[in-house]
Amino acid sequence: MKITYSTTPAAFSFPIPELDFRDCSANRWNGGSIVRSHFWNCMSSLLPNIEFCAIRSLMPLVKLIDEPKLHAEVKLFCDQEAAHGTTHSRFNSLHLHTRYPFLLKMENWERRMFSLMAKVFPRKLFLSLFVAVEHWTAAFSQFGLAEPDEWFGNCDSTMFSLWEWHAVEELAHKSVCYDVYRFFKGGFFLQVIGMLILLLLIMLPGIVLRLVYVFAKDGVWWRLSTYIELCKYLFARQGVLRKTFGDFLSFFNPRYRPWNVDSKPLIDAYLSRLDGNTDTLPTSCHAFD
């Protein structure tokens, strides 16, 4: 009996929203808060390079994947990640690179780092990085879609639509990199190493350096209130890191599978809202009420 590697329950496809960022505030779009806005701005600056790097890594492997379902899912994954990277890059270019030019320099440096990793890392180790990325983004997306007001209350409707659409697609394809990794016989040990590399070399330094820089550019880096608000946003009861910590730890369980957490109800709810509003994508921060 032939082994089936694909664990995605169904093929989900979503329209790309038409987003006009011209009237968005660079640093006040999320509830009027510099701290909350810049946390996600740093994500927006960091993610496109990762997404485009994942595409460049997976596309050459498509022809080697002889399982039709997984083959099609990889191609859809690349299409969705390309749309994410392009849309975030458009926001970044319009609002972040002009006001915070060091972010562009960081992105250029990270692009070179990813290119070097692609050359020197064994294929399975490099794939494990994207298994880790997809788990991390899926954990954020799961809670962000379930309770959006906790992280995006009173935010700009265009920016909410951006992150909502990004999140639902992350959930829809959250197992693709994991399934490809298994197809090429990746094991648990390298999976853990990939997560550690992601955290220690990419995510933690990338986010911390960005936050310090944008806070300094906006003249709030020296205020104690800035870091108190940041700690609350990350570690309070509904905080970004505290709320997703359990999901993060599940990655280090040998029985981990991306769809151990069922995301289909959240995806179906999003699709239902699209069916009920064919003219525009949902833009309200209270879309899940």
- What pLDDT is recorded for position 254? 96
Is residue 286, in this structure, part of any structural domain at all? no
Is residue 6, in this structure, part of any structural domain at all? no
Of the pLDDT bands very low, low, confident and very high (cuts 50, 70, 90), residue 284 is very low
- What pLDDT is recorded for position 2? 64
Is residue 285, in this structure, part of any structural domain at all? no
Is residue 254, in this structure, part of any structural domain at all? yes
Q: What number of other Cβ atoms are within 10 A of residue 274's Cβ?
A: 17
Instruction: Please tell me the total count of domains within the chain.
Output: 1
Is residue 272, in this structure, part of any structural domain at all? yes
Is residue 268, in this structure, part of any structural domain at all? yes
Query: Do 114 and 49 contact (CB within 8 A), yes or no?
Result: yes
- pLDDT of 283 higher than 50: no
d(CA 280, CA 63): 37
Is residue 70, in this structure, part of any structural domain at all? yes
Percentage of the residues of the chain whose pLDDT score is greater than 70: 94
- What pLDDT is recorded for position 273? 86
Residue 256 backbone dihedrals phi, psi, to 5 degrees: -60, 135
Give the range of the structural domain holding residue 202, as residue numbers without chain letter. 34-276
Q: Per residue in 198-220, pLDDT tens?
A: 999 999 999 999 999 999 999 99
- What pLDDT is recorded for position 226? 97
Helix/strand/coil (H/E/C) assignment for every residue in the chain:
CCCCCCCCCCCCCCCCCCCCCCCCCCCCCCCCCHHHHHHHHHHHHHHHHHHHHHHHHHHHHHHHCCCHHHHHHHHHHHHHHHHHHHHHHHHHHHHHHHHCHHHHHHHHHHHHHHHHHHHHCCHHHHHHHHHHHHHHHHHHHHHHHHCHHHHHCCCCHHHHHHHHHHHHHHHHCCCHHHHHHHHCCCCHHHHHHHHHHHHHHHHHHHHHHHHHHHHHHCCCCCCHHHHHHHHHHHHCCCCHHHHHHHHHHHCCCCCCCHHHCCCHHHHHHHHHHHHHCCCCCCCCCCCCC
Q: Per residue in 150-199, pLDDT tens?
A: 999 999 999 999 999 999 999 999 999 999 999 999 999 999 999 999 99
- What pLDDT is recorded for position 274? 83
Query: Do 168 and 14 contact (CB within 8 A), yes or no?
Result: yes
Greater confidence, 28 or 1? 28
Residues 6+ apart with CB under 8 A from 210: 38, 41, 42, 45, 46, 103, 106
Query: Do 250 and 260 contact (CB within 8 A), yes or no?
Result: yes
Q: Per residue in 124-153, pLDDT tens?
A: 999 999 999 999 999 999 999 999 999 999
User: CA angle, corner 242, sides to 170 and 164, nearest 5?
Assistant: 30
Is residue 9, in this structure, part of any structural domain at all? no
Query: Do 202 and 110 contact (CB within 8 A), yes or no?
Result: yes
